[in-house]
């Protein structure tokens, strides 16, 4: 079972490595969206410092959603997904492995590049740790919830727009806790509460989302 999961993760990572432009596009999108806000709002440093956590988190939400549509599409198109459905290893485990691989190529880079955006927004250095931890805990939840939407909209016309309609409302708690943790830390308080709630979301999503994804995949491939 774990062997199957490992194989799926390695395979998906290898596929992503062979086509690095896909990963780069989502990352570039994240940077561009975050860079647009000062142009629209104005470059007043205090204002930027205040909106930085929210902007970074909203950009992370959008960027993670953008890459979701590709999560199952290629496997669905070439029949790999059907083989996974027929295989002996539980579909929930395969789904969890695919989500893990997706997070490694789309979520983790956001965590790495977020300090760059924070620098642009003149966020105090003491907050970088909280920002990184919140993204580290929050982006996997985005991948897990988003994968349910990606599985449900598999092969539908207008899938991308529909996906955002399904998934974005469900992202709200993660956004609130993620941006809230940095805001709280900026106010000089301990962000432990929000980070623990994010960890709780992650535990909850990791436990239940794979089965929902598996159910959605079965429905979509019937």
Partner 1 sequence: MSSTIKWYWFASPQTFYPLAGTLARWSGVLAAVLAAAGLYVGFFVAPTDAQQGEAYRIIFIHVPAAWMSMFLYVVMAFWAAIGLAFNTRLSGMMASAIAPTGALFTFIALWTGSLWGRPTWGAYWVWDARLTSELILLFLYLGFMALQAAIDDPRRADRAGAVLAIVGVINVPIIYYSVKWWNTLHQGASVSLTRAPSMASTMLAGMLLMALAFWAYSIAVSLARVRCIMRERE
CB of 155 to partner 1, least distance (A): 10
The nearer residue to partner 1, 86 or 161, going by C-beta atoms, is 161
CA atoms within 13 A on the CB side of 157: 0
* Residue 158 within binding range of partner 1, rule CB under 8 A: yes
Whole-angstrom distance, CA of residue 107 vs CA of residue 141: 10
* Residue 68 within binding range of partner 1, rule CB under 8 A: no
The nearer residue to partner 1, 170 or 199, going by C-beta atoms, is 170
Whole-angstrom distance, CA of residue 153 vs CA of residue 149: 6
What stretches of the chain show up as alpha helix (H) in DSSP? 2-18, 20-41, 45-66, 70-78, 80-86, 91-106, 108-120, 128-152, 159-186, 192-221
**Contact between 144 and 99 (Cβ < 8 Å):** yes
CB of 145 to partner 1, least distance (A): 8
* Residue 162 within binding range of partner 1, rule CB under 8 A: yes
Residues 95-154 that bind partner 1 (CB under 8 A): 145, 148-149, 152-153
Taking residues 167 to 196 in sequence order and writing x for each that binds partner 1 by CB under 8 A, - otherwise, the string is -xxx-xx--xx--x--xx------------
CB of 201 to partner 1, least distance (A): 8
* Residue 157 within binding range of partner 1, rule CB under 8 A: yes
CB of 122 to partner 1, least distance (A): 21
Whole-angstrom distance, CA of residue 145 vs CA of residue 95: 12
CA atoms within 13 A on the CB side of 130: 27
Whole-angstrom distance, CA of residue 161 vs CA of residue 165: 7
* Residue 13 within binding range of partner 1, rule CB under 8 A: no
Which residues contribute to the site for partner 1 (CB under 8 A)? 145, 148-149, 152-153, 156-159, 162, 165-166, 168-170, 172-173, 176-177, 180, 183-184, 197, 201, 208, 212, 215-216, 219-220, 222
């Amino acid at each position: 079972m774990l062997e199957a999961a490992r194989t799926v993760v390695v395979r998906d990572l290898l596929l992503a490595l062979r086509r690095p432009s896909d990963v780069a596009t989502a990352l570039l999108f994240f940077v561009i969206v975050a860079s647009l806000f000062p142009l629209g709002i104005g470059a007043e440093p205090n204002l930027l410092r205040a909106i930085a956590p929210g902007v970074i988190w909203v950009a992370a939400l959008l960027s993670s959603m953008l890459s979701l549509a590709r999560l199952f599409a290629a496997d669905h198109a070439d029949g790999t997904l059907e083989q996974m459905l027929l295989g002996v290893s539980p579909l929930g485990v395969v789904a969890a492995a695919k989500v893990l691989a997706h997070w490694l190529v789309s979520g983790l880079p956001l965590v790495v590049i977020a300090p760059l955006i924070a620098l642009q927004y003149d966020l105090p250095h003491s907050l970088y740790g909280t920002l990184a931890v919140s993204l580290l805990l929050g982006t996997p939840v985005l991948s897990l919830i988003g994968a349910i939407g990606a599985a449900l909209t598999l092969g539908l016309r207008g899938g991308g727009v529909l996906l955002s309609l399904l998934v974005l409302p469900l992202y709200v708690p993660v956004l609130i806790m993620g941006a809230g943790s940095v805001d709280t830390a900026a106010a000089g308080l301990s962000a432990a509460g929000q980070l623990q709630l994010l960890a709780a979301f992650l535990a909850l999503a990791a436990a239940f989302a794979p089965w929902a994804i598996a159910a959605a995949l079965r429905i979509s491939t019937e």
